[in-house]
């Protein structure tokens, strides 16, 4: 199973508004995407975080490169900063573990 953790911080008030207009459709897409096993969101330390689990990395990449998520990625650098981290696992981490991994191993954007 492939785990994907994302934490984003909007850059401004307008970025915050634009973030939500993109994040909601993207999250809905994730919930129904082929291969998605788990989707959850949480605000932690000012980050808007997502935690998803996928049957495989390839299925996650298929989701990531299509639809609302692709549109959100194309706007990302204009509206937010953040981190992402993905890895293979046997179990879905709880939010404490997920955010710790994001902070220590996440790639900055």
Query: Would you identify the CATH topology of the domain 2-108?
Result: Alpha-Beta Plaits (3.30.70)
Pairing, β 2-10 against β 47-54: antiparallel
Percent of the chain past pLDDT 70, that is, above it, reads 100
Structure tokens at 73: 């990625």
75 within 8 A of 18, measured Cβ to Cβ: yes
Note the pLDDT of residue 72.
93
Domains in the chain: boundaries: 2-108
Note the pLDDT of residue 42.
97
The model carries a pTM of 0.92
Rounded CA-CA distance 45/22 in Å is 21
Note the pLDDT of residue 60.
97
Among residues 27, 2, 21, which one has the least CA distance to residue 85?
A: 2
């Amino acid at each position: 199973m492939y785990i994907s953790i994302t934490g984003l911080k909007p850059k401004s008030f307008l970025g915050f508004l634009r973030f939500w207009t993109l994040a909601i459709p993207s999250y809905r897409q994730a919930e129904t995407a082929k291969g998605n096993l788990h989707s959850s969101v949480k605000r932690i330390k000012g980050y808007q975080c997502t935690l998803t689990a996928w049957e495989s990395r390839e299925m996650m990449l298929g989701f990531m490169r299509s639809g609302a998520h692709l549109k959100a990625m194309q706007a990302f650098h204009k509206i937010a900063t953040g981190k992402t981290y993905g890895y293979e696992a046997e179990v879905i981490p709880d939010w404490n573990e997920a955010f710790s991994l994001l902070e220590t191993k996440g790639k900055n954007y």
